Amino acid sequence: MHNLRAALDHVVFEAALEHTSGNLSPEAEEQVMFPIVGKGGKAAFAKAAKSRLASVSESVRDAIETATYAATPASWSTSTSSALAGSWCPATR
């Protein structure tokens, strides 16, 4: 579980670096992380995303929200996974 969390945080951090051209403040570096929330649904996600995703582009925020509230991973198609990767990773564009 820890490795999954670390990987998600790394993807968000790299997206923030790309969006800010590498100019993240120390405060922003501490805040940037994949927003994982327990109870509270979309309202809790929106509250967490406001600070944790403040340094990423709107398209990345939208992709993360879509991935968070999409159907179960078992029902994802290859095109869904590719679309999400394309909006997060410059190398896949």
Which two three-digit tokens encode residue 25?
Answer: 């403040």
Confidence of residue 1 (pLDDT cuts 50, 70, 90): confident
Per the rule left: phi > 0, alpha: psi between -120 and 50, beta: everything else, 67 is alpha
Domain boundaries, the chain: 2-92
Contact 85, 92 (CB under 8 A): yes
- Mean pLDDT of all residues in 49-59: 94
Which tens digit of pLDDT belongs to each residue from 67-76?
A: 887 644 555 4
Q: Which residue has the higher pLDDT, 46 or 91?
A: 46
What the block records as the tokens of 89 is 């990773």
C-beta of residue 85 within 8 angstroms of C-beta of residue 76: no
For CA atoms 55, 17, 13, 72, the dihedral sign is positive
Say whether pTM exceeds 0.85. Answer: no
